[in-house]
Amino acid sequence: MVDEIYKVLTFNNADPNLYNVQFWADFFKIPPATIRNIFNYLAYPVTDSISKKVTHVLYFIDSDLKVEELKKLLPEGIDRNMYLSYLEQDHSKRVIAEHGEEAGYFGSVEGFT
């Protein structure tokens, strides 16, 4: 399933109503609750082939959950992208504080966003 992550997120972002949790549960023969638990924590960065910079990030769009229910989970005025950006920045700060310049792949760390 690890090899299929990019495909799953690409198809889901193209048509979240067709390629929803039930579709992938049937495809992988895994219960929908398990699929939801796996895919809701996945992200895949899409990079520019020339500059190698991240152009956007694919997240699983769970069309089965109602937008109103999702809004109740976060404080008013905050959406999922804002919250994920906050988590990335917070994680980056904690990694740098703990590991210093050894935290990155090549000896230095910049913020994830």
pLDDT of residue 4: 82
- Please give the backbone phi and psi of residue 45, each rounded to the nearest 5 degrees, phi first: -75, 135
pLDDT of residue 102: 64
Question: What angle separates helix 21-28 from helix 32-39, to the nearest 10 degrees?
Answer: 110
Residue that is written with structure tokens 């895919």 in the block: 39
How many other CB atoms sit within 10 Å of the CB of residue 109?
A: 17
Whether 44 and 55 have beta carbons less than 8 Å apart is answered as no
Whether 96 and 88 have beta carbons less than 8 Å apart is answered as no
Query: Per-residue confidence of the chain (113 residues) as pLDDT tens digits?
Result: 667 888 899 999 999 889 999 999 999 999 998 988 888 778 888 888 888 788 888 888 887 776 666 667 777 777 777 877 887 888 778 777 877 766 555 444 455 55
